[in-house]
Each structure stands twice: as structure tokens, then as C-alpha cells.
Structure 1
């Protein structure tokens, strides 16, 4: 692999991109419009720093997803060769690494156990009766309630609202004379405090941390231990932040602390792509950067490389209506392209048929996977999905979905339930017998189940009498061997090993690989990760406990992880679509109140007085 020198790194860049790459010293704000090549700028800037003689171990690049970090690392590797000493990672992974480096100072035990979002929700729903809520009504929708409770506690962590701060606020507010609305808010906060305490106690007793803890513990460590802060300030002399507009309060404070001494901080963001509610007011983090680093250099990337002139013209016109934005005018040297089509339909049914017809026409010149349909939520896509199902149109939904209701995942869980208790798993065995790849005729399944019912046997016991039933004996005996194998393995291997054997010995992976079904392969990978995450939290639990955990988890939508797309139409949420590109994009429901949505506050909100008193926790004197 050939390394690029400094001059070669700049060859294909436009003047503004070149300026962004060459500006290496001091605080630098890069406003990067959509499609302006920001990822290329960041990666070339990292390479430029290396080629300028900056030691790799002095460079830290932070982003928000593992996928983005992996892509950035791959690009930098191609530019400079080995990058073993450069830290290119997510905020959470970076803070987790710092926790592990300072485990004794933090008075924590190793190894760390990290509780993921789904496990949090399961814990909340299982313990909801023990919270002794007095004002908040559980009602008939406990699922929605626990989602909101988890969300508000996560926000507390993001805003560094500790239990102590919340207690003090409630105590002081209780002394005031309040109107009805504020009284109800205070009573709600008292209940939330109970939940917050229960949750923190549970994690402490079980040596568990969540993603928010990774940030708060490192923030407190850096604030309270100057020698440790100094060590990281000296190590990470050059810091780059991608998607800066998405940083929350505590992430920003961590970055400011580490960057304070050398101030070689480059942030790349776009105020048009996110607004963060910061310090009690709706300000972009970009505005805060300007205040914190008044001597910063600002570079605006306005040339778009992704879209046609017509699409960009519409985008510029729409975004110009956004209030309090940094005014920039994206332009492109690309072709004019086709005009953006706006179609007015009477109702959802007519809209779905219109989209179906449009897709059928588009398929004359495009592959399925080149067509994306963007919606706010999955339920908004349901009428379109129904039309696709009716006309056998291949598609997949990308975003939060009913992961445990996916047919493939139901099949995997069926085998786990059979391993746990084969005699009581009639429904699961019947499901296994009907799997497409087993090729057993429905009439044979019926004969098998009727024999079991007639002779008062479980389906598992009925395999012993298979010779007396008019079915394909070879196929049924093959299934019998598989089931006996996993039942026997349950007692000799741990949970991840058992699930691994189910996924491979039962040929789940082999079958999906033979079909090149990337979505299903991704689902199997995600289920295995889910299993490992559970086992790391609850190593001493029984298989029955894992099944119970799955039953609880199936109440919640889970973000499905996707790898490379199958050749099917991509239906996804707008949030999930960020960073992706498609030749054809269809956006339904452009109706006022739906898209854009009417403002809907969360069920629980943090009082403005708790948002760090309207002040930055970071001591700006450390900048000087």
C-alpha cells in the first residue's frame, strides 16, 4: 500500500477543503453542508497531521457510531498505512477504555459489565411495581411508561444531573408556593427520583454501568483528578470530532477538558442536520463552540458532490425556512438532473398505490436496492409495506422494529425453548417442523401432531413412535437427532456456546449464506450479540431466565443492525437514512403535522434550572 505525502493528500480537494485539511493548529470549526465531502476532509486531515510529523499517539478522532469509526479508520489506513497508535473511535468506546485504564482510581471492579438499552428496559418493566410510584400512573401502558423513564434517566446522564442535584432541586422547590401545573411536575419528579435511585442502586450492587455512566464517570475523573487530566491532555494534543452537532452536554465537557491545554481541536458539523437542547435553551453546539473558543478559525464547506442541481435547489429552499440557522448556500457542479416530483394524493391508500406504481416504473432502469422510501416511523410505512406485500414486491425495513417477532428469530428462540423444556414445547416443535428448509409436507406435520394428541404424548415424545406414523421417517429422524443434540448440550455448555451451536449445528447460518440473505445473516449476528450481552450481565442465570428475559424484551422495538443491503427496496426511517445514498428517494406523508411533525415534548422533561444552571460546567479559565 502506497502512502501519500502532504502534497498528494491535497490534490483532489477544493480550496475550502484544502484549507480545512491544512489548518492544524488551534480551535477550528468546519461547517460541512450535506454531501460536501466531510468524511474525506476529516480522514485526510488525520493523514496530513501524521505526514506533518505529529506522533500518531497524539491524535484522537471521535464519532458517534462504530460503523462511522470503522469507515474512518479504514480510509486513514489507506492514506498513511499502519495506524495502530491513532485512536479513532466512538465517544462511548473512548470513555470505556479510559475507565478500564483507571479502574482502581474509579474504585470499580473488573471486568466491566455494560447494560445495553434493551436490558435496561427489561429491568425497568420487571421492577416497575417495586418503585412505589405515587403520582405517575402505570395504567394500561407500562411499556410506554418504562421507555419514557429510561429516556429521562438517560437525559439526566447526558446533562450531568446527578441524584444529589435532583434531590436538592426537589427539596428547594418543595418550599415554594406552586400553582397546580408546577405542583404536578414536582410530584412527577419525586417519582422519577425513586426510579433513578433504584436503578443506580441496582447497577452499583451488580457492578454494572450503562452508556451514560461511561461518560459521567470519566467527566468526574478528569474534573477531580488534575494529574490524570494532565496525562490525557499531553497524550491527545490533536482532537477531531465528527458530527459535532450531535454531541450532548457531557460529551462536550469531556472534549473541552482534554483540549483545554493545547486547544488543537477540530470539530466538523452542520447545524442544519441537528439541534440539541443545550443548557435549557435550543442552541446548537456550534454556537457554544464559538463562545468557548472565541479565537477559533471557521471554514465553511458549501460545495455539494452528492446531489444534482435540481435536488440541491429544492433542499436549499426548504432549509432556508429553518429559524436560527447559520446561513450557507450549498452549490454543486453536478448536472441539472431530473426535477423533483411532487404528487398530491387524497389519502394513504391512494398514496400507497401511487408509490407502488412509481416503483414498478422505476424498476425498468433501477435495481430494487437503489430505491429508498423514507418515513418518520415504521407505522407510517405500514400502508406502503402492505401494498408491497400484496404485490410480492421485495423490501426490507431498516430501523427500530419488532426484532423478536422476526420469523427467523422466532425459529431460533423455538430451539432455545425446546432445549430448556422439550416436553412442554409442543408449539415450538410444530414451528420447527414447518420451517421451509426442512421440506416436510404440511399433511405430514398434521399426521404427526394428531398421533401425539390421540396418544396423549408431547410432540417430543412422539418422535420415539415415528415408525408408526405415515410420514417421511428420514426427515423426522433428522429433526429428532437435532433436537436431542441441543437438549443434551444444554447441560454441558454455557449460554453463548449453546446458542452458537443452535445457529451453526441447526444450519441457520449455512442456509441463509446459501441464499445470500444479508438481512437474515445480520439478524442472526445481532441475536448472538444479544445473547453474549445478556450472559455478560447474568452469568449465573439459568436458561429459563434467558427465555423469560426474551419474553420481556419482545415487548420493545429494537434497532435492527444492517450490514450490506440485499437487492430489495429499502424502507427506512429518516433518522436511519443519515449518511446513506440512493439513486431514487421517495418521501411519503409530506403533510403538515406529520412531516414535519408537530412539536411533541417528551412525557417527562428536565426542569431548566437543572440544566447546569444555564452555565457551562467547563471552567473557561483552563483555556488560558
Structure 2
């Protein structure tokens, strides 16, 4: 492919990025506008035109997954040899190389977790801590270090920004803890992840020979997600540059959601001032989402401008029309989870792959209800932020078997067939197990490996296969060794293959990802924005979280909240202030419709305000809870609140009518049908009073 041919696939703004090869460049890129495409083509174009040598380019991003994806794209564009790493990975590699020369010996061991050291440091300064406070204090130490705040300056720094000290401690106590923490680390001969950046920055600032060697190696820098850079990362970047301006940064201030961890959009928003004469390009053509999703995203984030903040990028949808965004108010959390699970079931039956569906929420604690509802509905799922794919024991065992198989594989047998034969010994089969639990999770993981083998073979058959080190393989010749190499690289980058299940994730964990269908849940005051967001800046960041969530959706977008936490509880929740002027009927929220069939399908006279319906719901809920206690399961395992409400609405009189109620499966009908019908008959004959 010629250099000019590389530009043919780009829109005018992306082409402007790709051809701005020298000097400072700032790319303000909205969600879904193809920023990774633009910067990878820029690097590839620079190499094709002879402006860059691959080894002189360092592309830095914030997650190992993003770095792995960038390397994959660069290889596909013929730009192998470019270093694409996270800040920490790049710094650790350089520190490990120069440490023996500058200090002598091997670098200190890096702490996996701070908890033990923080607990010991707290004991030494007389602070009473538990597991939760140790976690919070560890996070505060990380914030201080990435913000370049020392123990001596801590009290003044947090006072200036009105940042409360964690776990009920006063700033002086936290400062003493910080000093003690550094002492404990020194005694144990260990460093933490923040020290990697601090030590390398100091080495570059103090040792001119080291700085010159690195600057000779890396002459051109690209930094993705620049709105998330911390003062420490910026300081390291300044040392790498050494006063030069061969820097391209990419970011979106509207997606700044990690301020609590020290990230700041300041360096992005002031880039043109810091680097006079910088080329500034705005990417606003949204190729990810439908006009319906893009319109809502623009309305969500435009409130930052109305509140006196900087004007956000206004996205322009490039896709054709899609379904309208759906808004649903549920009675309680359990009903919300059940309604979302049923809506997902309809999408899957319509042809949407489960792996292209996500349920997003503000905090990880909200996942449990959705896990239970999806399991009850028989829908596979994975919780993002749980155990890492390549850390699973069954995945590690499978990799050992595949690695061994690569040494003795029959070259006449297609690679995907060999993979299937090997993985059958560790739980894979053509069809998934009927039950959920560990067996299904193991099958899902093995099936993801099978799917990756199929993708690799298909790419090779199309003549597009490249190996992990950038070599182009022969057409149609993907081997088991190629798959093992791909898995090794993915494991190093924590770039897991796609597991065929619905993704459950917090809004923070969803950053950088996208799905065909997204369910934004728990959108009530106190959850989003969280009750802990007390300042205007904190509330603004919560709004940006919602914006990030909305822009994850390509086609289907559902927003919901629950009026009450528990079934039968007081409806004391209100929807999020961020949904003001966005909800279809601002006077009266839309009723839950996700799990309800049209009333005429069961009973054309059904009326949810009928006192008999309310009586049935009360009595059936009481019976359900008693039965659940007697058999030792959660009430939702017997009947969900949404199903109870539908039974109360339609008041079935026969097993056939009960079987038509959504949520009543064949097993429920066979084991509990007569009992449920008896409760309905008793309750329906006595209308509720009041």
C-alpha cells in the first residue's frame, strides 16, 4: 500500500491529523470519531513517507488493552516496530535498562498491592485502620504521588482544593502516614508503581547521559487519552521530550472521569498555549452511534456549557437512523434488573449477540441484582473488573495444553479443528452446558479461545495475517504456534478475547469500549450523581460519566432507574438531575414496559389500579417470601417482583393462563403453579382496602 493510499480511508479531519507529521499537534476527538484510526494512520503515513523511523516513535496510552489494540492496528498498516505502551510499561522498561548502569544491581521489587505496607505504616504512626480505610488511604497516597504532592505539602495542597482527607482522618495524620509509608518501603527494599515514574523522571532530570540516550531513541511522541494525564505523567513526558515539540496529543475534555485519581484535562485544554503554533484538529464526525444516541449525548454534555464550563465538542452523527432511545422507570431495583434482563433476552432473540450488549452502572455493588436476573433468564454474562481472563486457572491450563500441542500439531489438520480437539479435554463442547455457574463460565472462556482461533484462521485465509512480531505470514497458513503467540501477546497486554456473554461493568470500567446495545441503569439521585459528589466540580464529573455511558452505545440505548430500593418499599427515589429535560414526559416518568406483554394477550380487562391486583401482589409476595425462606433461596429465585406484579395484573385462573405470564417458565409452572393459583384465587376474592 502506497503512502497516499493510506489516506484514502480517512475523512478530511482525520486526514489533517495523519498529514500533520511535525511539530506539536493537538487532536480534540469526540467519542466515536475515529481517533485511534487517525493517529495510527498518522504514524504509518510518517513511516511510509520516510519522516519517521519505526524505532523512533513512542505511542503512549493509559491501558494495556488500548496499547495492545494500537500495536495490532499499526501492524495491520505495515508499521511494525513502533513502541505502543502504557506510561508505566514504557517507564518500567527504561528504568530496568538504566538501573544497573546508574544505581547498580537489579531494580527493587515492585509492590503488587499497597495494603500491607500501608497497614504497617498506619500502625507505626498510631492510626486505627480497617480493611476499608487501608484501601482508601492507599488511594490517597496514590493521588498525592501522581499529583506530585509530598508529605510536607499535603495539608496545604488538600486545603487549597477543599479535598477531604479519607476515612475520617485529618490531613496531618495522612501526611504522617505518607512519611511512614515511604520509610516502610525503604526498609523492605520495594517500590510502588508510582515510584517507577518518579524514579525514571528523576534519573532523566539528573543524568544527562541517560536523558540523551533516551531522547536519541525516541524522537516522536503520541499520547492518547491526554485528558487523563496526571501531573506526574506530564512531568515524565516533559523529561522524555527535553524541550522538543515533536508531540501529538489526543483527547476529549468531556471524557475526563478520573479526577479523583489525579487526572486533569488542564494539559489538554492549555496545549495550544504551552506549545505556540500547535496544529489543532477537531474530530466531530461520530461513526459509532446512531443519530438518536448522538443527539442525546450532545444534550447531556451541553449542560456543562450552560453551567459556565468550556464548550464541549458537538458530535455529528454519520450513521443512518436507528431505534429511539428508551426511558423506563421501575418500581424497585429487583424489577429494574428483571426488566433489563427481559429486554436483553428480546434483543438476543432478534439477533444481537450477547457480547454486543452491556449493562452499565455507577458502582460495582449494583451488579449483583443484574447477575441474578440474567442467570435466572438463562443469559450468559461476564463482569468486567472481576478476575482477569488470563489469570483464570482454566485459561492458564488451556494455554499450557495449546503450547504443548503447538510442538506436535499435525500440519495437515486445520488449526481451529486442532484447537477444538485440545480444548475438549478442559471443558469445551459444541454446545454450552445448560446450567450456569462454574461449568458455564469455563465453557465461555474456552469458547472465546475457539473464537479467536477461528478469527486468526479467517484472517490468514484472507491474506491479512501478521504474527505478533509484525511478520506477515503465508496466506492460509495460520498455525497453532501463531495462535499461542497471539495469546501470549494478548496476555501481556491483558487484551482478552471476546467472551460470548453480556458485559456487566461500572461506568468507569466501560471507558474506551463500545457495544451495539447499552443499558444505563440506576440513574437516580444519590446513585448518579453519587451522594458523595458535593462540589460543583464533582457533580460535573458525574455528568461526564453519564456522557461516557451514553456514547458507548452504537444502536440500542436504554436508560432506567428504580423508584425504590426494595420491592414494596416507599418510592422515595427521584431520577437523576442529569435527565431533566431529557425524559420523554417530564411530568410523569414512563411506566415500566420492558417485561410486560400487552394486557389483552392475557386479560383484556386487566387494570393495574384495580384493588384486586394490589391485593394479589401483596398476598403473593408474602407467600413467595415465606416459601423462599423455607427452601433457603432468595425470593427472586422463586418469583421476581416483576413477575409477581404481572400475575397480580392478570390474575390467571388456570395453569394455561399462568403459563402465559412473562417470567413463569415450565419448571415454575410444574412445581409452584397450583400454589400460586391458590394464592391468586384467595386474594382476588377480597379486594384490597383503601
- Tell me if both proteins adopt one fold, taking TM over 0.5 as the criterion: yes
Matched, 1:595 2:528: yes
Counterpart contact for 1:271–1:326, Cα < 8 Å: no
Per-residue CA deviation, residues 538-565 of structure 1 (Å, 9 max, x unaligned), is xxxxxxxxxxxxxxxxxxxxxx967223
Structure 1 partner of 2:23: 26
Matched, 1:268 2:262: no
The structural deviation recorded for 1:143 is 1.1
Matched, 1:385 2:371: yes
Per-residue CA deviation, residues 452-472 of structure 1 (Å, 9 max, x unaligned), is xxxxxxxxxxxxxxxxxxxxx
* C-alpha distance in structure 2 between counterparts of 1:341 and 1:279, whole Å: 33
Structure 2 partner of 1:67: 65
Aligned pairs for 1:322-361 (under 5 A) are: 322-323=304-305, 324-361=309-346
Per-residue CA deviation, residues 544-602 of structure 1 (Å, 9 max, x unaligned), is xxxxxxxxxxxxxxxx9672233222211122222222211111111123123244479
Structure 2 partner of 1:101: 97
CA gap 1:129/1:311 in 2 versus in 1, 3 angstroms: closer
Matched, 1:581 2:581: no
* C-alpha distance in structure 1 between counterparts of 2:200 and 2:448, whole Å: 33
* C-alpha distance in structure 2 between counterparts of 1:184 and 1:25, whole Å: 45
The structural deviation recorded for 1:326 is 3.9
Counterpart contact for 1:397–1:571, Cα < 8 Å: yes
Counterpart contact for 1:310–1:338, Cα < 8 Å: yes
CA gap 1:108/1:161 in 2 versus in 1, 3 angstroms: farther
Aligned pairs for 1:204-223 (under 5 A) are: 204-223=186-205
* Matching residue within 414, 420, 426 for 1:511: 426
The structural deviation recorded for 1:168 is 6.3
The structural deviation recorded for 1:182 is 10
Structure 2 partner of 1:110: 106
Structure 2 partner of 1:471: none
- Alignment: residue pair count: 447
* C-alpha distance in structure 2 between counterparts of 1:342 and 1:184, whole Å: 36
Per-residue CA deviation, residues 433-486 of structure 1 (Å, 9 max, x unaligned), is xxxxxxxxxxxxxxxxxxxxxxxxxxxxxxxxxxxxxxxxxxxxxxxxxxxxxx
SS in 1 for 2:512: coil
Counterpart contact for 1:275–1:284, Cα < 8 Å: no
SS in 2 for 1:325: coil
* C-alpha distance in structure 2 between counterparts of 1:281 and 1:93, whole Å: 18
Counterpart contact for 2:28–2:282, Cα < 8 Å: yes
Aligned pairs for 1:141-220 (under 5 A) are: 142-162=130-150, 166-167=151-152, 188-220=170-202
* C-alpha distance in structure 2 between counterparts of 1:281 and 1:567, whole Å: 33
* C-alpha distance in structure 1 between counterparts of 2:358 and 2:164, whole Å: 45
Matched, 1:364 2:346: no
SS in 1 for 2:58: strand
Matched, 1:13 2:7: no
Counterpart contact for 2:253–2:265, Cα < 8 Å: no
Aligned pairs for 1:460-539 (under 5 A) are: 510-513=425-428, 517-519=443-445
SS in 2 for 1:61: strand
Greater Cα shift, 510-519 or 33-42 = 510-519
SS in 2 for 1:591: coil
Counterpart contact for 2:291–2:322, Cα < 8 Å: yes
Per-residue CA deviation, residues 159-185 of structure 1 (Å, 9 max, x unaligned), is 2223xxx23666x99xx9xxxx99999
Counterpart contact for 1:277–1:284, Cα < 8 Å: no
* C-alpha distance in structure 2 between counterparts of 1:579 and 1:274, whole Å: 12
SS in 1 for 2:222: strand
* C-alpha distance in structure 1 between counterparts of 2:276 and 2:245, whole Å: 12
Q: Which runs of 5+ in 2 are unaligned?
A: 397-421, 433-441, 450-492, 539-690
CA gap 1:520/1:201 in 2 versus in 1, 3 angstroms: farther
Structure 1 partner of 2:299: 317
The structural deviation recorded for 1:388 is 2.5
CA gap 1:325/1:169 in 2 versus in 1, 3 angstroms: closer
* C-alpha distance in structure 1 between counterparts of 2:384 and 2:263, whole Å: 32
Aligned pairs for 1:75-86 (under 5 A) are: 75-80=73-78, 83-84=80-81, 86=82
The structural deviation recorded for 1:288 is 3.3
Per-residue CA deviation, residues 23-45 of structure 1 (Å, 9 max, x unaligned), is 01111100111111111111111
Matched, 1:46 2:34: no
Matched, 1:299 2:281: yes
* C-alpha distance in structure 2 between counterparts of 1:280 and 1:364, whole Å: 43
The structural deviation recorded for 1:381 is 2.4
* C-alpha distance in structure 2 between counterparts of 1:160 and 1:73, whole Å: 31
* C-alpha distance in structure 2 between counterparts of 1:42 and 1:573, whole Å: 28
* C-alpha distance in structure 2 between counterparts of 1:182 and 1:580, whole Å: 32
CA gap 1:169/1:78 in 2 versus in 1, 3 angstroms: closer
* C-alpha distance in structure 1 between counterparts of 2:122 and 2:315, whole Å: 54
SS in 2 for 1:29: strand
Counterpart contact for 2:136–2:167, Cα < 8 Å: no
The structural deviation recorded for 1:369 is 2.2
Q: Which runs of 5+ in 1 are unaligned?
A: 413-506, 524-559, 606-624
* Matching residue within 126, 131, 138 for 2:124: 131
* C-alpha distance in structure 1 between counterparts of 2:116 and 2:447, whole Å: 25
